[in-house]
Chain A
Amino acid sequence: MSNTLALAGAPPGVLPRTIARTWRKRSVMPGFGLTFGFTLAWLTLIVLIPLATIFLKAAGMGWHEFVAVGLSPRALAAYRLSFGTAAAAALVNAVFGLLVAWVLVRYSFPGKRVVSALVDLPFALPTAVAGIALTSLYAPNGWIGQFLEPMGIKVAFTSLGITIALVFIGLPFVVRSVEPVLADLGKDVEEAAATLGASRYQTFSRVILPAIGPALLTGFAMAFARGVGEYGSVIFISGNMPGKTEIAPLLIVTQLEQYAYAGATAIAVVMMLASFAVLLLINWIQAVNRRRMGA
């Protein structure tokens, strides 16, 4: 209560200090002003100001034009494809990423360090190379494609291919989000649970999963958000057929190719708002969860 009052009454000039003193709960911890101020300043300079340009540019076009470009049937089909494949890929990654993180943290097996190093490959490999490599694997004459083709499964140049590329791109997000938390999670809680008679499955679902839940959700959200915008790798493996395998970032490039910068920013704005909403929702769910768990 008193916090909000203090904020409303503060003159603009002293707001940062007021925030530091009253917004947060009193703490002996030092460095709030320094770190919080720096975080905001750097965030504004590198992310917010540059990003504001696309909103400014998009605002330059009229509302009608904005809707005509940003929400055209073709754009909607592209959003559906981009968001759908990104969600599917992020789900696959949430399941298998957790499994990989678990195996890496808890078990020992030969070659574990190499496997661990391999997980970050998608970050290091230029996305275009990943796209080319995946296409050459899954094309009808590729190493894997030649076996799938006779079974009637087409991967390259379909939405399945896009999903596979996005699984590749997003995997490290999940593994690397979960891994440190899992490693930090001592075995003592599990031992306690086991001593109290919990089965292994109960321990996992009641003790481990809630602890790594936030990290897993974060990994899922980041893999998803990254997948929605991905261009370099997808462009090779998707067929780019309008309305069928045309991803949203391709539409942005298409607009640029017509020198329509405003049109490009219109699509970019719609995509960004949607991804931002998803990220915000997930971060909010986590915050609520934390509060409920009393952490």
Chain B
Amino acid sequence: MNRRAVITATIALGLAAGPFLAGCTSKPTDPNAIVLTNVSYDPTRELYQAINPAFAAFWKQKTGKDVTFRMSHGGSGKQSRAIIDGLDADVATLGLAYDIDAIATKATLLPADWQKALPDNSSPYTSTIVFLVRKGNPKGIKDWGDLVKPGVQVITPNPKTSGGARWNFLAAWAYGKKAGGSDAAAEAYVTKLFANVPVLDSGARGSTTTFVERGIGDVLLAWENEAFLAEKELGKGQFELVAPSLSILAEPPVAVISANAKKHGTEEVADAYLRYLYTPEAQAAIAHNFYRPRDPKIAEQFKSQFPQIPMVTIDKDFGGWAKAQKTFFDDGGVFDRITTKK
């Protein structure tokens, strides 16, 4: 064989192997130091920044071991795909159960009945969908019915790419169905609603920015916690939160990715971490970050913070996420139908 060809092949292989070798320098592990990887969705950064040190202290006191956290935040669906493709999460704390279901069904990294592992559908807190309008509510938006009036611009992200937007869509659907009495009426309602949408951002936070920073639109459909954040911090005094007559109970779930935790030997601490979210201390932190706490006592304490809204649920009114996703958001579903028909 040609000597030159051998040299060439060696150089090419050596160069190609370089980046791989760079990754093999793993850090030495201290048996008393535990690293927990929490893969979460976008808006929870402040929440876990408050909870993680508290849990670390709690765990240190209980077992004498140190826990450090690796946090990853991103869109809920994208994070779920990353776990399926091998991101070594010990726990997943995502925006909707559908995304954790996908991890269970497509990668079998946790049991299919994961949602039964922890109390309250494995959702330590809830939230809902509300409206955010500009100060003084110039368009007089009080309820879903006002959103389809001519000249009202509605901002919502794209349900095809954003988990939060799916909650928006389903809440709107629930209203349309209740007001009109049929699926056909609901479809007519959301068709009119989306005709009033000038921009479909790819994520929930993109929509908030479009509404708040770009000044586009009259009303933003948003997570309650996001709306509070926008009202109280982002654009203090420029916006008002409007509670509609009907909304949807959003239950962001948490789960131990058992296959990964087993591999890392973190099953116990991962489970304790998620259970810690249900303790009064964590529930208070949750309420401070504008999520609705599950603990009745803490809920009572923060009662005045959250408006009372009648809510439908995904399981009772839509037959669960798998069905809702297929009917409404997959290719050829209701959302495609209403946005492509002219």
Contact = CB atoms under 8 A, between A and B. Distances in A.
A and B in direct contact, judged by CB atoms within 8 A: yes
Interface stretch (B1-9, B110-118, B131-139, B220-228): B1-9
Given A136-B214, A139-B216, A263-B331, A250 B81 contact: no
Name the interface size band of chain A.
35 or more
B233 interface: no
Given A257-B161, A258-B331, A37 B199 contact: no
A256 B81 CA distance: 8
Contacts of A16: 2, 5
Interface string A23-40: 000000000011001100
Interface stretch (B11-19, B25-33, B172-180, B289-297): B11-19
Interface string A250-291: 100111111110010000000000000000000000000000
Instruction: Give the most central of A16, A69, A258: most B CB within 10 Å.
Output: A258
A240 B214 contact: no
Contacts of A240: 158, 199-202
Contact of A250 (B77, B202, B215, B331): B202
Interface of B: 2, 4-5, 7-9, 11-13, 15-16, 77-78, 81, 84, 102, 106, 158, 160-161, 197-202, 206, 213-216, 325, 329-331, 336, 339-340
B9 A141 contact: no
B339 A241 contact: yes
Interface of A: 16-17, 33-34, 37-38, 41-42, 45-46, 69, 72-74, 135-136, 139-142, 156-157, 235-236, 239-243, 250, 253-260, 263
A162 B202 CA distance: 15
B9 A235 contact: no
Contacts of B158: 240, 254
A41 B12 contact: yes
Please classify the interface of chain B as helix (H, G, I), strand (E, B), loop, or mixed, using the class held by over half of its residues. helix
Given A34-B4, A38-B12, A139-B216, A259 B340 contact: no
Nearest to A238: B199
A249 to B, nearest CB: 11
Given A140-B216, A241-B197, A253-B161, 7 more contacts: A17-B2, A37-B9, A41-B9, A157-B198, A157-B199, A242-B340, A256-B81
Contact of A254 (B7, B11, B84, B161): B161
A42 B214 contact: no
18 contacts: A16-B2, A17-B2, A34-B4, A34-B8, A37-B12, A41-B9, A41-B12, A42-B16, A72-B331, A157-B216, A239-B198, A239-B200, A240-B200, A242-B336, A242-B339, A257-B160, A259-B102, A263-B331
Contacts of A141: 214-215
A17 B3 CA distance: 11
A209 B201 CA distance: 43
Contacts of A69: 331
Given A235-B202, A236-B206, A257-B77, A46 B16 contact: yes
Contacts of A37: 4-5, 8-9, 12
B265 to A, nearest CB: 29
A236 B209 CA distance: 10
A259 B106 contact: yes
B31 to A, nearest CB: 38
A155 B158 CA distance: 20
A37 B12 CA distance: 9
Contacts of B325: 258
A37 B77 CA distance: 42
A235 to B, nearest CB: 6
